[in-house]
Structure 1
């Protein structure tokens, strides 16, 4: 099982701070299939990188 609790991630875009997601909570049961979709720049790849442990979220908890 994968559990995300109140995960947030942002990055600097030039002089501005861009919030990709904030307060994201998600529970994925073992053996489940999940589709992550959204517009370009919404944070889909960033979320997958957080789930893979390649980058760290700004806030929140990720449990495996």
Structure 2
């Protein structure tokens, strides 16, 4: 992630972060389904979303 994006995430409040986390988890579930049905050709979006989830969980646990 870019440092600007990380700064924006750190400045958000806890409810916004948890909402974004749940949205990212839903996106991962959808991407996994697309991957298993061979609709998803680019795995980068899945890895980016997983990284976003890890970053969000780290920020939430720090707050």
Q: Which structure dedicates a bigger proportion of its chain to strand?
A: 1
TM-score, length-scaled by structure 1: 0.32
Kindly name which structure, 1 or 2, has the bigger radius of gyration based on alpha carbons: 2
